[in-house]
Amino acid sequence: MKNEIKITFVKSPEEGEICAVFVNEFWDRSKTKLTSYMHIGQHAGCSPDILKNWPLATEQEYRSLLEELNTIGYENIKIIQSRIH
């Protein structure tokens, strides 16, 4: 069984774009950034502060990004929709 991928979907306060933050996957070796994914730009590193500073996305808002993640091979996703990480 593959490891569970924990993702929180947040929404950019400025542009309204949805970002998937992989809450249990670090982007860098120093473990200061988390892995994130957006429709445009795709994978990138992000500050963990994004989880505190950006509002949570609704299911309707993140549905297409979740479908894109499934299409590119992400399986066993657990959606975390809370501020406690």
Q: Is residue 84 part of a domain?
A: no
Report the residue count for the chain.
85
**pTM of the prediction?**
0.88
Q: Tokens 């473990």 — which residue?
A: 31
Q: What is the pLDDT of residue 64?
A: 96
Total tally of structural domains belonging to the chain: 1
Question: Which tokens sit at 50?
Answer: 């994004």
Whether residue 12 lies inside any domain: the answer is yes
Query: Within a domain: residue 53?
Result: yes
> Among the ranges 2-6, 31-35, 80-84, which has the highest mean pLDDT value?
31-35
Residue 45 domain flag: yes
Higher pLDDT among residues 59 and 41, named by residue: 59
Expressed as residue numbers, the domain containing 50 is 5-75
Q: Is the pLDDT of residue 1 over 50?
A: no
Q: What is the pLDDT of residues 61-75, one digit of tens each?
A: 999 999 999 999 888
Asked if residue 80 is part of any domain, the answer here is no
* Residue 66 forms part of a structural domain: yes
